Amino acid sequence: MNELSPLLAQLVNGLIIGSIYGLMALGLTVIFGVLKIVNFSHGEFYMLGAYASYFVSQTMGLHPVAGIFVAILATFFLGVLIEKALLTPLYENKVERKDEYALLITFGLSLFLINMALAVFGPFQKSAPALTGGTIDLGVITLSSGKVLAALIAIALLLIMLFIINKTWLGTALRAISQDRDTSAIMGINAKRLGSIAFGLGACMAGAAGALLGPVFLVYPIMGTVPAIKSFVIIVLGSMGSIKGAIYGSLLVGLVESLGVFFLSPAYRDVYSFLILILILLFKPKGLFGGAQWNN
Amino acid sequence: MRKVGILSLAFSLALLSLAGCASNTTQSSGASSAGGGGADVIKIGGIGPLTPPGSPVLGEEIQKSMQLAVDDINQKGGVLGKQLQLFYEDSAGSPEKGQSAMEKLIKKEQVVAIAGEGHSSAALAEIEVAKRDNIPFIVAEAWSDAITEKGYENIFRVAPNNSMFSKRVVEYVEFAGYKNVAILAEDSDWGIGNVDLLKKQLTDKNIPFKSIVVDRNTKDFVPQLLDLTKDFQPDIILNIMTGVGCYLVVKQAHELGIAPSAKTAMLMGGADAAYPEIWETTGEAAKYLVWQAPYHPKAKFTDLTQPMVKAYEEKNGRKPTYAALHAYDTVLLLADAITRAGSTEPAKITKALEEAKLLGITFPSEKGVDYHNWLPALLFMQYTQVNQSPDDAEILFPKDVSTAKYATPDK
């Protein structure tokens, strides 16, 4: 068993981080599914969530779990506001080249938020208090309790999100918009308002992921770049816009990276997920779950 | 076709973001007498990382220290009867951004000499621009051997180089009696250069080692740390990382119970160990950490050192690390060279730099320039308390200035 423990440790670590990136990828999918845009500022909502949680737990001295809730609320409302301010021209026929507009506006927002964070919070790294201290000794492997709790909260948030999407009126309406925006509007769904809510939901999932990983990976202005790229890999791998794809994609990335690290070399850890992405796109160009149906 | 265009645009933008061009801050700061015409001022250039992927902390420190030196010199009457004016550009620690920052300093600001930079990858690209335009360039804090090994006559450096660093690290490893060494290094020129040199020297001395080079954007080092300790029991882990990475390695190695522990020590190679962020980011994990620096207040350097340290702290509210001291030295060297040359012609400044024998902050006058490199000392310290100030850390090595022996953690 002792021979297996290094492999087990790698796998568990990969799955813990994978589940939190999964949360972020799901947020990206929700935004893509409903608004049909790729949010290039997703990593910055992750960063803002981490800062919100940091200030609540470190500066105000509240429990880190309270920091996560504040981060979720703050990034949700910020997301809603940003969608209303910057993305509504897309649906009011004010812009001619909608895809380019969405791409440039979210990319510009990303640059703005990074530079704003540099100016407001400074370039120095901060560390939010761990969700819980100590380690969990399972005999064969020892795990950091903070990381395990972060992964459990991430899974709980994923399940809540799936419940909202599949079992509530809001979810049904969002799915309807994702299938046909115009028809759902004719049916009486306020697509404009729900578009803002969808962006807010997506942003708050990135914010939650940032709040969960802030204590693990430090808080600083450019912290969102790598998780955002991982999320892009996950959603493309699982099929753009597929919720199932985002969840399975994140687990697959976590597994593949861990196995690659164990059997090949830890030096090329990030290469493995890109390699699997290339292979899947070669053989299944539409991704693992093919097609861009949001509720697939 | 339109989709392909959009995808290409998206891909280019993503690459730009990855390359760290995300934040394009460019700053210029100069003496109050900025005239613009160049008649009353001597323009010198400063360069360093103010935005990621470089270390903004390091770049800001270099900038503030160079400005402090400029202000000090101007207060004493300037150089050749003129005030010095500093133009500082952001290199983001990346080769492409560094080269364009150099172009701007030389072509637009028309500086007579340049100093700064804290990342080898960027410095190696920047020296090519300096060489092409024959502008004297003193590298402040980039350690790659290649910077001065290329033999460019207008390129100088005040920081230690990798050969010296790795030689001292192996000397410390031998001195402390470590038998098995693990190396975790970032994939920068500084990191890779050091790993190669360390591997060669450890092989020559028959000291077993295991090494891993990682992407400098990595945040989760648990896989690498687990791999380094798989079937191998290192006595010391050499953490050859800078910026966020070096803190995360300390934090995550502590969480795993790997190091610093009773069985395994950890040495941090970058300047970051002396920043206050080490306690903010690693908490108690940095207790017992061994780190190196070419400067420590317990080991006296020159008479200029303490006044500069005091002035820097008063002005910026935080203590300078050795990077700031080296940056300050670059301006002293330039001012001295311009004075002795009696001219602001780049070729004459270069010639004067070759002959410089100056009392600096980190090097004594009699040493002079050694193959375009003023080599400062290198000290090994250990934090023995949580939240300990770098000034209170104990010096372990070299033996002639050591203040304590290595303190081993209880578990």
Kindly list the domain boundaries of chain B, sorted by start residue.
Answer: 2-160+303-367, 163-293+378-401
Alpha-carbon gap, residue A132 to A146, rounded angstroms: 5
pLDDT at B377 over 80: no
More confident residue, B12 or B353: B353
Residues of B in contact with A265 (CB under 8 A): 212
Per CB-CB distance under 8 Å, the chain A contacts of B63 are none
Window A:71-90, CB contacts with B under 8 Å: none
* Minimal CA separation from B358 to chain A, in Å: 34
CA–CA separation, B127 and B106 (whole Å): 12
Q: How is domain B2-160+303-367 classified at the CATH fold level?
A: Rossmann fold (3.40.50)
Interface check B12 vs A, CB under 8 A: no
pLDDT digit string, tens, across residues B145-178: 889 888 899 999 988 888 888 989 999 999 999 9
The residue-averaged pLDDT of A245-273 equals 86
- Model pLDDT, residue B203: 96
What's chain A's length in residues? 296
Question: Do A261 and B17 count as a contact with CB atoms less than 8 A apart?
Answer: no
Residue B26 has pLDDT above 50, yes or no: no
pLDDT computed for residue B37 by the predictor: 36
Tell if the CB–CB gap between A261 and B247 is shorter than 8 Å: no
SS3 A36: coil
Whether chain B has a CB inside 8 Å of the CB on A32: the answer is no
Strand partners of residue B212: B184
ipTM of the complex: 0.71
Q: Mapped to the 3 state alphabet, what secondary structure does chain B carry?
A: CHHHHHHHHHHHHHHHHHHHHCCCCCCCCCCCCCCCCCCCEEEEEEEECCCCCCCHHHHHHHHHHHHHHHHHHHHCCCECCEEEEEEEEECCCCHHHHHHHHHHHHHHCCCCEEEECCCHHHHHHHHHHHHHHCCCEEECCCCCCHHHHCCCCCEEECCCCHHHHHHHHHHHHHHHCCCCEEEEEECCHHHHHHHHHHHHHHHHCCCCEEEEEECCCCCCCHHHHHHHCCCCCCCEEEEECCHHHHHHHHHHHHHCCCCCCCCCEEEECCHHHHCCHHHHHHHHHHCCCEEEECCECCECCCCCHHHHHHHHHHHHCCCCCHHHHHHHHHHHHHHHHHHHHCCCCHHHHHHHHHCCCCCCCCCCHHHCCECCECCCCCEEEECCCCCCCHHHCEEEECHHHCCCCCCCCCC
Instruction: Give the Cα separation of B269 and B379 in Å (integer).
Output: 11
Are the C-beta atoms of residues B209 and B233 closer than 8 Å to each other? no
Query: Is the CB of B51 less than 8 angstroms away from the CB of A6?
Result: no
Strands of the sheet containing B236-240, edge to edge, are: B209-214, B181-186, B236-240, B265-268, B290-293, B379-382, B394-397
Mean pLDDT of chain A: 88
Residue A154 has a CB neighbour count (10 Å cut-off) of 27
CATH architecture of B163-293+378-401: 3-Layer(aba) Sandwich (3.40)
pLDDT for B22 beyond 50: no
CB contact under 8 A, A218 and B247: yes
d(CA A295, CA A244): 8
- Chain B residues in contact with A14 by the CB 8 A cut-off are 223
Contact: B244, A218; criterion CB under 8 Å: yes
pLDDT tens-digit profile of B30-57?
A: 443 333 335 689 999 999 999 877 888 8
**Contact A271/B at CB under 8 A:** no
Residue B1 has pLDDT above 60, yes or no: no
For residues A147 and A64, is the Cβ–Cβ distance under 8 A?
A: no
Residues in chain B: 411
pLDDT value at residue B39: 62
**B224: chain A residues, CB-CB within 8 Å:** 261, 266-267, 269
**Shortest CA distance from B275: residue in chain A:** A124
Cα distance from B336 to chain A (closest Cα, Å)? 33
State pLDDT tens for residues B107-155: 999 999 999 999 998 999 999 999 999 999 999 999 888 898 888 999 9
B contact residues 51-80, partner A, Cβ 8 Å cutoff:
51-53, 56-57, 60
Cis amide linkage into residue B276, ω under 30° from 0 = no
Q: Which residue of A has its CA nearest to B251?
A: A216
Is B227 close to A9, i.e. CB distance below 8 A?
no
* A211 has a pLDDT exceeding 50: yes
Give the gap in angstroms from C-alpha A281 to the nearest C-alpha of chain B: 15
Q: In Å, how far is A117's CA from the nearest CA of chain B?
A: 11
Give the integer Cα–Cα distance in Å for B157 and B375: 8
Rounded to the nearest angstrom, the minimum Cα separation between A195 and chain B is 23
pTM: 0.72
| Residue B91, pLDDT score | 95
pLDDT tens digits along A51-61 = 999 999 988 88
